[in-house]
Amino acid sequence: MKRKKEFIIGLTVIIAILVIIFGIDYLKGINVFKGTNYYTASYTNVAGLAQSAPVTVNGFKVGLVRDIAYEYDNPGHIRVEIDLNKELQLPLGTKALIATDMLGTSTIELVMGHSDSFHKSGDSLIGENKIGLMSNVTDDLMPKIDSLLTSLNKVIGNPALTSAITRLDATMGNLEKSSAELSAVMTRMPAIAGSATGVLNSVKGISDNLTTVSADLSAVTSQLRNAPIDSTLNNVYQATASLELLLKELNSPNSTLGLLLHDTGLYDNLNNASASLDSLLRDVKKNPKRYISIKLL
């Protein structure tokens, strides 16, 4: 009974180990229930290539990378072992190319040879690195990028660029100031619009007044047109003639009016009369009883 338990335990452990081994191989993509042939290839660079990486022919998976090991007896080379479907036959001259995608993951692509003879399991294939997109980028674009960076450094180090940036900064400051002033002007626009409306109303009133004045001038002009200008002018002429005659009479010493102006005796008599009258008034003020008698009843 004890031996039976030990046997069951041992069998269980063995089965568990086998399940683990086969499970790991299955997770790696190895089909342990399907026959395979293995081949090797030697490379100087296997960057990005890992165990269980797919091996393809024309994009179709036909196997996987079984092992990767450094060749100590051939310094600088790395040996890669691949497992392929047993039904796949490789003509002599078949190449195993390592191709790297943009993400840095590498796979092996088989390029079939053109021979009528075939490799046997365990043979070494021709190992090469395929020139991919990243290689083209590195080989073609990197020199251009380096030249571009050199030119960019020269441009950045140019004092004229620093001066231009300084002027641009000053220009941006002026633009910001102008924008603030414009914003302030836009804020005052309603008040300005109100003032403009008042001015327009005033202008309208002035225009109405000018219209009234124009109508009045038209009426005055019409009245002047209908006025008896000829008779008025004749009256003016007559008045002028009469005034001229009066002036002649005043200037002539032989006329009555001329004697009043030019006769000194008449002036002296008037002056004496004025003096006598003045003396009389003084005496009346001084001795009123002499001239006025008041009788009491």
Residue 1 confidence (pLDDT): 60
Are residues 221 and 241 both part of a single domain? no
* pLDDT tens digit sequence for 181-224: 888 877 877 776 677 777 777 777 777 777 887 777 777 677 66
Q: Is residue 7 part of a domain?
A: no
**High-pLDDT (> 90) share of the chain, %:** 22
Q: How far apart are CA 54 and CA 64, in angstroms?
A: 4
Q: Give the end of a domain, one of 132, 150, 179.
A: 132
Are residues 103 and 175 both part of a single domain? no
- Is residue 124 within 8 A of residue 41, CB to CB? The reply is yes
Are residues 57 and 125 both part of a single domain? yes
Q: Is residue 119 part of a domain?
A: yes
pLDDT of 39 > 80? The answer is yes
Residue 27 confidence (pLDDT): 56
pLDDT of 121 > 50? The answer is yes
Residue 297 confidence (pLDDT): 45
Are residues 163 and 220 both part of a single domain? yes
Query: Tokens 């997109």 label which residue?
Result: 133
Are residues 162 and 125 both part of a single domain? no
Q: Is residue 153 part of a domain?
A: no
73 to each of 46, 70, 206, how far by Cα in Å?
18, 9, 115
Output b/e per residue, 185-205; b: 16+ Cβ within 10 A.
eeeeeeeeeeeeeeeeeeeee
* pLDDT tens digit sequence for 149-189: 887 787 777 777 777 788 888 888 888 888 888 888 778 77
Residue 56 confidence (pLDDT): 94
Are residues 215 and 233 both part of a single domain? no
Q: Is residue 14 part of a domain?
A: no
Q: How far apart are CA 203 and CA 191, in angstroms?
A: 18
Neighbour count for residue 135 (Cβ, 10 Å): 13
Residue 22 confidence (pLDDT): 59
Are residues 177 and 194 both part of a single domain? yes
Structural domain that includes position 79 = 34-132
**DSSP-assigned letters across all residues of 209-268:** HHHHHHHHHHHHHHHHHHS-HHHHHHHHHHHHHHHHHHHHHHH-TTSHHHHHHH-HHHHH
Q: Is residue 192 part of a domain?
A: yes
Question: What is the gyration radius of the CA atoms in the chain, in angstroms?
Answer: 69
Question: Of residues 6 and 134, which shows the higher confidence score?
Answer: 6
Q: Is residue 111 part of a domain?
A: yes
Are residues 111 and 90 both part of a single domain? yes
φ, ψ dihedrals at 227, nearest 5°: -70, 150
Are residues 71 and 106 both part of a single domain? yes
Q: Is residue 182 part of a domain?
A: yes
- 10 HSE (CA, 13 A, CB side): 6
Are residues 57 and 113 both part of a single domain? yes
Are residues 219 and 247 both part of a single domain? no
Q: For the chain, what is the domain count? A: 3
pLDDT of 282 > 60? The answer is yes
Query: Can you give the pTM of this predicted structure?
Result: 0.40
pLDDT of 239 > 60? The answer is yes
The two tokens of residue 293 are 């008698």
Are residues 72 and 121 both part of a single domain? yes
- Is residue 128 within 8 A of residue 49, CB to CB? The reply is no
Q: Is residue 265 part of a domain?
A: no
